[in-house]
Structure 1
Amino acid sequence: MLYELFRYNWQVRDEWIKWCESLSKEELSKMRTGGMKSILHNLFHVIDCEQLWINQLQETPVIHKDIEEITSLIEIKEFSNSTRRLSENFIKKHENSKEKKIFILSLKSGEKKHLTYDKVLYHIITHEIHHIGQLSVWAREIGKKPVSTDLIFKDIEI
């Protein structure tokens, strides 16, 4: 089920990236209210958070990219594709494993939270859905039809 929901998010993300191809660089970068303040940065943010969490779960180095240095849709597409490959491999291995692994999150307060890997993975899924909703609001604000996020009509079996 986890993998299918990630596939859903990746399909919707790809559709948003394709949708963005008709927008000017100025429109993609325009400062807006809410979310990560621009279409480009919203897309980057969900991809960046996915790779951050997945790399932490598999104990590999996190890729550090400055959101302010992201200036093109091509960069977003490349980052999305590389992150997806990383995530896909990890999620498939995790789902095939019966081991209930725990991730220890160190908070700024010094407190430690013990989270199941499944909870972190579901967090990644819902986090992206939240930010993709912001893109729909912005699409309507500029007079464009947003990408459909209706799971019923996506080519994904759950």
Structure 2
Amino acid sequence: MIEAATCLKCQYGLIKESRARLLNYCKTISMEDFLRENSAFPLGGSIRNLLVHVANTYQFWILKRALQMDLDFTQYTAIRSIQEAERLLGSIDTQIIRFIDQFESTLFDKLQLEVKGRVKYLSPLELFTHVTTHEFHHKGQILLLSRHLGYTPVDTDVVQ
């Protein structure tokens, strides 16, 4: 039988492949459009801001809460290019594998986490599922935003 941790690592590999297709597509977008804010979209509504928000969500739930790392969240303005966004997201990858390894025997056990002054009980599997589905939600927004900017989005689905 394949262990759950092996499945999560494989799944995260697929997520990274999909992310790579998105980031390669974003390299075709002008710097002006990459940074352009659109109030119709959340979080300042730029492709850059959405990518940083995705990274911050991984940082918040996996690095800071689950792995209890002391870190400052990345500010939107700290990222000035798609290459910097790519490095930011890439810097999280090793921590995700560390997270899976650390919790492989307790993926279904509840962790007690304090969030906004409230205690939440969430399993490592729930945290992993939350951050990865959150990434795909915002990936869709990035593709839609790029379409509003006049670009033709590429297929970034896991299954091509």
Structure 2 unmatched ranges of 5 or more: 1-6
Residue 104 (str. 1) matches residue 121 (str. 2)? no
Tell me if the contact between 1:51 and 1:87 (Cα under 8 Å) persists in the aligned partners. Answer: no
Matched residue SS, 2:130: helix
- The number of residue pairs the alignment matches comes to 151
Question: Which of 20, 25, 30 is the aligned partner of 1:24?
Answer: 30
Q: Which residue matches 1:49?
A: 57
Is the contact between residue 35 and residue 131 of structure 1 (CA under 8 Å) also seen in structure 2? no
Q: Deviations over 1:117-149 (max 9, x none)?
A: 111110011110110010121122233222313
Question: Do 1:104 and 1:112's aligned partners in 2 also have CA atoms closer than 8 Å?
Answer: yes
Which residue matches 1:156? none
Greater relative CO (CA pairs within 8 A, separation 6+): 1
Aligned 8 A contact 1:3 1:92 in 2: no
- 2:139 counterpart residue number: 132
Structure 1 unmatched runs, 5+: 154-158
TM-score (norm 1): 0.83
1:63-83, CA deviations, whole angstroms, 9 ceiling, x for partnerless residues? Answer: 422223322222212111111
Is 1:75 the counterpart of 2:75? The answer is no
- Structure-2 separation of matches of 1:4 and 1:43: 22
Amino acid aligned to 1:25: M
SS of residue matched to 2:159: helix
Cα 1:145/1:53, change in 2 over 3 Å? same
Query: 1:65 corresponds to which residue?
Result: 74
The reply on whether 1:7 has 2:7 as its aligned counterpart is no
Which one of 40, 46, 50 corresponds to residue 48 of structure 2?
40
What CA distance in whole angstroms lies between the structure 2 residues aligned with 1:84 and 1:22? 24
Q: Determine helix, strand or coil for the equivalent of 2:70.
A: coil
Partners of 1:103 and 1:147 in 2: CA distance: 38
Q: Is the 8 A contact 2:18 2:158 kept in 1?
A: no
